[in-house]
Every structure is written in structure tokens, then in C-alpha cells.
Amino acid sequence: MAMNFGPGVFADHLSEVAGQKVGLALSIEELCDHLSGDHRNLGDMVRESEKDGLRIRSEDFESVCYRLFYRIGYTEDEYTGVPVGIRLYHKYRKSPKLLAVHEAVQRIVNQMMMGLTETAAKSPNKMLDPSPIIARCAKELGKKGLDMAVEYLLGLDEQMRMNPHRLTAYEDWVDTVALKELFSGTSRAPERGRFIDQRFINYLSNNNHRLNDMHWRKFEELTAEYFEREGFRVEIGPGSNDDGVDVRLWNPDTPEDAKPTCLVQCKRQKAKIEKVIIKGLAADVDFMGGNYGMIVTTSELSPGAKTTISARGYPIQVVEREAVKTWLTRLRIPGTGIVRV
């Protein structure tokens, strides 16, 4: 089936889909940037559609959306679009016993799904509960049946979540947030997350090459968010006139009036961290009575800075660019949700 878009409509539709699914508002240039970079020249296709319109096969449109969802952090890998039943058939087809279990699971799902959907539609929250399917597969097919039922249902959920024609939101976003705010800064309170919006984290986890492009305040917020989720009591500085300390950390069991456990200085920069920064933070730790200091940077320490820490025995830890990338992987929450009907 072909889909027809008039001049200027295709990009608007992609932006609407991204807003509904991911909660990010994208400009046409952001759309084009994130769809460029492979042999398909999808970014050029979007630009040309602004003037000439576009006729595109529905499966090709879906492929464009899968690429976009991946590039803006909705999925960790680019979705292939292969239905779960076909994918699992090829996974198990070489083992007659496993294939028989897989086919039995499919039959059970097909038999029960309509009734569960009708029940969900009548419930106050419209949520579909798949546990009866899992319980029946476990009872009739044993441990293998239980495992395959979970695998099949997760795949089915992914299909529905990734379907660009189905704009039912899995996440109940109050509003979309403009991607440009990650780079220009914003005082908007995060919708998911205490310090920085989860959508920005997911985006950066797939686009960590843009760490240096993010607004310096957002980098401080990312640092605060990480330690908040690690269980620390966290206080983020005002952003200016903070005496060189961007984030203060306390162990969760310390009294409210205790001195900070750790003083964190965030450095979102390309240049290496020089020893003058290390000396300044060490002085702050000593003056404020902290246990230790920490440099969190999108760059790395210079050789002189590393020597200064070891030679003077400064109580300073360092989180460099590669470690920050690991943070993003740990902090990301894939775009999953409970099916609503």
C-alpha cells in the first residue's frame, strides 16, 4: 500500500509520530540530521518532500520511522520490523521439540488475546493483563512454555509499541519536550526524572558523540540524576556563584546537617582537565570538610592533572568521557510500557 504526502506534510507527520511515541519535538533540520548517514539518504528524502511531496510504500515509511526512533533514543537497536511470530519461528525451526512448543504458545495467545482485550477495554485503566496467558502456557507446556510465552508477549508488545500507524501512547507524557532544549538549556522541570528529563538521557545514550554539545547546565543535571539513582542524597548548585562546586552528595544514612560526603565539579568541555582545576577542587574539599571530591568531565585529565592527584595524595576521584557513556547506558529506560487498548 502506498502513502501520499503533499508538500510539507511528510516531515510534519514524522514529527507528530516522534512526539507521540518518544515525547520529543523535532524541527525539520533535526529530523533530517537524524535520518542522514546511511545509503538510503533519508534526510535528503525529507528535504525534497517539503517542496515536491512524497509517495512512499507503507513498509518503507515504517522503516523510516524505525530509523528515527533508534536515532533519537527510543530503542537501543534499530528495529527490523520482522513480526515476532516469524522471528521466533526461525529461531526454533531447527529443533522440532522447541518449534512445537513455540507453535503451541502461539495458539494459546491467539485463543486468549481477544478475550483479554475485551476485558481490558471494560476496565477503568484500560490495561491488558497478560498473566493468564503466561499461567496457561506454564501449566500446559512447562518451563519452556513459560519462557516462550514471555518471549512472545514481549515481542508482541514491541511490535505494537513500534507501529508508527498506531499512535496510542505507551508513556503518558503531559507534553512533548523540544530536543533543542538539551543543547540550549531550559528551566522546565523534567517530566520523568528528578533533575533531567528521561527523554534526554535516552537520546544521549544513542548519541553520546553529542555530549559536548549539550548545555553545561544539562550536564550538571545529568550528573546529579546519576547519583540520585545510585542512592545518594543530592543537591545541585544554582548554576552560577556556586564556589566551583556544582553538585553536593551525601550518603543516604548521614544526618541532614552533615557536611557533604562528596563535592562534584562538572566539566563539559573538549580540552583536557588541567592541574589547576584539581588543585582548586582539593582546596574546596578541605575548606568545606567533604570526604572527597570528584571531577566529572566529557573530556579527560591531562597527564599533569593525574600526576598532581597521585603525587599530592588528593582525595579526588575522576569520571572521564568513557565512564559518562557507561552512565548513560545504565540510566536509559527503553521506550516500553503497558499495552493500553
What digits encode the pLDDT tens for the residues 293-311? 999 999 999 999 999 999 9
Q: If you classify domain 196-331 with CATH, what class do you get?
A: alpha beta
Q: What are the angstrom distances between the C-alpha of 152 and each of 37, 113, 166?
A: 33, 12, 20
Query: Residue 323 to residues 34, 64, 90, 273, 334: CA-CA distances in angstroms?
Result: 25, 32, 38, 15, 20
Query: 4 - beta bridge partners?
Result: 55
Rounded to an integer, the average pLDDT of 158-166 is 88
Q: Give me the residue label for grid cell 510534519.
A: 12
Q: What is the pLDDT confidence band of residue 134, given thresholds at 50, 70 and 90?
A: very high
Among residues 38, 61, 329, 337, which one has the least CA distance to residue 206?
A: 329
Is the CB of residue 59 less than 8 Å from the CB of residue 81?
A: yes
Outline where 77-178 has alpha helix (H). 84-92, 96-122, 131-162
Contacts of 292 (CB under 8 A, 6+ apart): 261, 262, 263, 285, 315, 316, 317
Residue 3, H or E segment: strand 2-5
Which residue has cell 513459560?
Answer: 146
Percent of the chain whose pLDDT exceeds 70: 95
- Which of 268, 326, 278, 338 minimizes the C-alpha distance to 302? 278
pLDDT mean across residues, the chain: 92
pLDDT at 337: 34
Which is it for the CA torsion 122, 125, 126, 131, positive or negative? negative
Q: Which helix (H) or strand (E) holds 177?
A: strand 177-178
What is the pTM for the complete model shown? 0.86
Q: Which of 269, 273, 334, 327 is nearest to 298 (CA)?
A: 269
Q: Which sequence spans correspond to the domains of the chain?
A: 2-71, 84-162, 196-331
Provide the greatest CA pair distance for the chain.
Answer: 71
Cα separation, 60 vs 36, whole angstroms: 15
pLDDT at 339: 32
User: What confidence category does residue 243 fall into, taking pLDDT thresholds of 50, 70 and 90?
Assistant: low
- Region 205-229: what's the mean pLDDT? 96
Find the mean pLDDT for residues 223-252: 89
Q: What number is the average pLDDT over the span 179-207? A: 93
Q: What percent of the chain has pLDDT over 90?
A: 81
How many CB atoms are closer than 10 A to CB 291? Answer: 15
H helices of 23-95, where?
28-35, 42-52, 58-71, 84-92
